[in-house]
Amino acid sequence: MNPSERTGLRIDLWADVICPWCYIGAARLQRAVADFEHSDQVHIVHRSFELDPGRARSDVQPVGTMLHEKFGPKRRSWSSG
């Protein structure tokens, strides 16, 4: 066990490796921890989370199309992507 796990702050970071927003959030978290005065006491534990586990691997399409099919025509911006 890492010493920071016993005495510092543990952050469980749940993310989907294919999700761009998860990547952005993880990068911002890592930058914030690096700038933190006590960063040596922070331990980030990366956890895997699949955003759409029922999606077939062969179902490849633009994000806007996928969002429109999954959630309906709620936002016009989805269709433009």
pLDDT in tens, 22-77: 999 999 999 999 999 999 999 999 999 887 788 888 888 887 887 787 777 765 55
Buried b (16+ CB within 10 A) or exposed e, 62-77: eeeebbbeeeeeeeee
Q: pTM surpassing 0.85?
A: no
Residue 17 dihedral angles phi and psi, to the nearest 5°: -65, -20
